[in-house]
A and B are shown apart, each in its own frame.
Chain A
């Protein structure tokens, strides 16, 4: 196991019930080249702007939820498609590697609980824009601005028109640094991405 993956694996146990512990998981997992998943039991408080079990403020304004599509082959009213959520683009603070959460709804107390966290490997330069993300029952597909073979070399993006100093951007009126070779990354849910 690579050293960074081992560091990620070392973050375990009941400590995952706090914000700090979950952030440690995210940070460590972001370091892991292969990515990882960890189950967190950390829960947002019902009141706006505060977090249960920890100090600090969640930037819930940037929180986005998306629901898995219905299964047309076996529609069951009692089965509610899973809900995933994430902080827009690059996490709570706007920096760092994006991650998404599988959410569990509980009527008593009206809470959404992040019962699983998956970190998107930073090497793909993925920004979790909702229009570029689609959750299925088994996979999540996310559009990446770099081509299939590329990863995230600091300082250059070989084969791409954009550079690290001129951040990539999706199609806008200013297309001088538009995305030339996007790819779609599939991640199997419930396993390591």
Chain B
């Protein structure tokens, strides 16, 4: 997946490259829709919140860490948002989100860790917090209150 981040900071233009890129590119018109390199009318993704840590990709999944301001409570919150490429919509769609940092006070986002474990999912750790969370590649995601370790 190739993402181009737009000037608003939350929108992405994306192109999906399959492992058989050469084959698809050579006969793009005949390729199945979900394997096309670009769907010009649907290739815009807007991620909720402010993307503060570089996203991580594995297969059809993408993990974002974003911060949101909760106007009701007056606090800034940190969210893990998992997107999956839909072969029906030809689009990344939000499949899971988790408020992993209830009160986000850090600005040292370079110290945040977001890595992938392949089929075992993603690991996330906030700066200054001892807990590492794993988000599985499944509908059964785990996070705070789940299998934190």
Contacts and interface: CB of A to CB of B under 8 A. Distances in A.
A46 B110 contact: no
A63 B124 CA distance: 11
B120 A65 contact: no
B101 interface: no
B147 interface: yes
A176 interface: no
A84 to B, nearest CB: 9
Contacts of B110: 129-131
Interface string B97-128: 00000000000001101011110100101011
Contact of A107 (B111, B120, B131): B120
Contacts of A131: 110
Nearest to A62: B128
A48 interface: yes
Given A46-B149, A78-B118, A110-B147, A64 B130 contact: no
B115 A65 contact: yes
Contacts of A46: 149
A47 B134 CA distance: 14
A61 interface: yes
Nearest to B57: A70
Contacts of B118: 77-78, 80
A49 B130 contact: yes
Query: Dominant SS at the B interface?
Result: mixed
Contact of B120 (A63, A105, A129): A105
B42 interface: no
Contacts of B56: 67
Contacts of B125: 63-65
Interface string A38-64: 000000001111000000000111111
B61 to A, nearest CB: 11
B113 A60 contact: no
Given A75-B19, A77-B59, A66 B115 contact: yes
A179 interface: no
B19 A77 contact: yes
A48 B120 contact: no
B89 interface: no
A47 B130 CA distance: 10
B134 A64 contact: no
A85 B134 CA distance: 16
A77 B123 CA distance: 17
Nearest to A85: B113
A189 B97 CA distance: 36
Interface in A95-134: 105, 107, 110, 112, 129-131
A66 B113 contact: yes
Contacts of B115: 65-67, 83
Interface of B: 19, 56, 58-59, 110-111, 113, 115-118, 120, 123, 125, 127-132, 134, 147, 149
7 contacts: A48-B130, A64-B111, A65-B125, A67-B56, A77-B19, A105-B120, A129-B110
Interface of A: 46-49, 59-67, 75, 77-78, 80-81, 83, 85, 88, 105, 107, 110, 112, 129-131
